Structure formats: C-alpha cells, structure tokens
C-alpha cells in the first residue's frame, strides 16, 4: 500500500475539491438512486453497518459522515486500523520525528476511494491550512501542517489519521438507509477518539439503544 503524497501548503487540496471528486466517483456506483430530500441532513452522524452487510469494504464498520449535501456524501471509517504507523507516515513525508511513541499510533483505512489520500479527524478544531468544520469541536484537515504538529507533539489533543474515504453519489446514501443497509445516529467524539477500536461498532449502536447481535436484516433503521 502506497503512502499518501500529503498536500503541503503550496500544493494542498481543498475539502471542496474532494467533495466534487466524491460526487464524480460516486456516479459509477449509483443505480436507480432516489431523489435527494432537502429535509435530510446527515453530516456529523455515524453510519453503523447492519450485521447483514457483507460488502468487505464496510462490513461491521462505523463511518463518520463528514459532509452531506445535494451532490452526495463523504465520510471516514473510524474502526479499521491498518498495519501502517504514524512513524512510517512521517518518514515517508520527510518530517523530522519528535514524538517518541509514533510507532504505536495506527493509520486507519478511511474508505475505498482514493486510498492514497490522507485525512485527519481531530478535536479541537485549531488553526490549520485546510480544515473543514464538521462540528464546533470536530474538524477534518487535509493539509500537511497538522501532521508536522502531531509529529512534534504539538498537534490537537485528539486525532485520527486515515487514508482514503467513503463516498456516495446524489441520493445513494438515502437509498441505502431506506434499504436497511445502515443505522444512523449522532456522532460522538468519545467513540471516535477514546473507545477501543474493537468496541466502536457496538458502542455507536448502543447510543441508539440497539444491540447489534440481536438485529436481523429485517429490522428497520433508526
């Protein structure tokens, strides 16, 4: 798996450009999608894979929806760490390490789209070169300055670094929710940053009062 060519100050990619790319990439996945409802807003929500979902890209996953609009949606899977470490990432980016425990910090698989592209979920927001606010205390940054800060121990208090993202075309996500592919509910920073990776799938469902082991494919969505 290749390391990302993380955008620096002079070549950074804007969040908006990613959303446009997601919209285009999603078109090849969409078949007979439903119209987007202007009343539905799913940003800053968890998508919790139903137990019957067998797609290897999303089976037993929790995805944080970072953006959702009339062009589609994008999010990051928060419970799939890879074998890559932060130490390996900063070495590839030619960043001088300063934090001794970087080898213990995993890089996550954020989704199947553009797996070479890096993203950082973090709290608090801070001031970085290219950040989208997901919530008042949660941001998504794509610029290299945040990686440099993390490497030197002066980054945000909470962070999760991911390669790739999950993307849906216009109306596709709504159709999947109606088809009982996902449960959805409000995101929770504690689950993203503090809950054990192995427990995040059930922990996200627990906030909705749901025991995933008891669900069948016929159970309705939240």
Domain membership of residue 47 (yes or no) is no
In angstroms, rounded to a whole number, what is the distance separating the alpha carbons of residues 103 and 120?
A: 17
**Bridge partner residues of 62 (DSSP):** 48
- Number of domains observed in the structure of the chain: 1
Mean pLDDT of 59-73: 95
Among 95, 53, 93, smallest CA distance to 77 is for: 53
Residue among 151, 207, 171, 138 at smallest CA distance from 68: 171
Question: Which structural domain range is residue 100 located in?
Answer: 15-29+57-209
Q: Does 41 fall in a domain?
A: no
On whether residue 9 sits in a domain, the answer given is no
For 141, list phi and psi in degrees, rounded to 5.
-120, 140
Q: Quick check: is 146 in a domain?
A: yes
pLDDT-derived band at 213 (thresholds 50, 70, 90) equals confident
Q: Say which DSSP state 117 is in.
A: E
pTM over 0.85: no
Tell me the two tokens of residue 151.
Answer: 């490497």
Q: Would you state the pLDDT for residue 220? A: 47
H/E stretch holding 73 reads strand 72-77
CATH of the domain at 161: 3.40.1740.10
Dump pLDDT digits (tens) for 86-132. Answer: 999 999 988 887 777 788 899 999 999 999 899 999 999 999 999 99
CA distances from 68 to 18, 54, 75, 183 (A): 12, 24, 9, 16
CA angle 149, 132, 11 (to 5 degrees): 65
At 87, give phi and psi (nearest 5°): -60, -40
């Amino acid at each position: 798996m290749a390391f990302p060519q993380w955008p620096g100050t002079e070549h950074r990619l804007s969040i908006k450009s990613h959303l446009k790319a997601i919209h285009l990439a999603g078109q090849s996945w969409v078949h007979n999608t439903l119209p987007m409802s202007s009343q539905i807003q799913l940003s800053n929500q968890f998508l919790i894979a139903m137990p019957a979902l067998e797609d290897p890209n999303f089976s037993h996953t929790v995805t944080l929806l970072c953006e959702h609009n009339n062009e589609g949606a994008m999010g990051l899977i928060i419970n799939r760490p890879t074998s890559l470490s932060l130490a390996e990432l900063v070495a590839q980016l030619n960043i001088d390490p300063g934090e001794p425990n970087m080898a213990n910090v995993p890089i996550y698989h954020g989704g199947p789209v553009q797996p070479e592209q890096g993203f950082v979920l973090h709290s608090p927001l801070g001031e970085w070169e290219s950040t989208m606010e997901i919530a008042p205390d949660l941001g998504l940054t794509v610029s290299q300055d945040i990686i440099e800060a993390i490497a030197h121990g002066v980054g945000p208090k909470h962070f999760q670094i991911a390669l790739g993202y999950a993307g849906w075309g216009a109306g596709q996500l709504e159709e999947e929710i109606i088809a009982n592919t996902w449960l959805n509910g409000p995101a929770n920073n504690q689950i993203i940053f503090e809950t054990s990776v192995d427990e995040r799938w059930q922990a996200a469902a627990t906030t909705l009062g749901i025991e995933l082991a008891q669900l069948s494919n016929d159970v309705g969505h939240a």
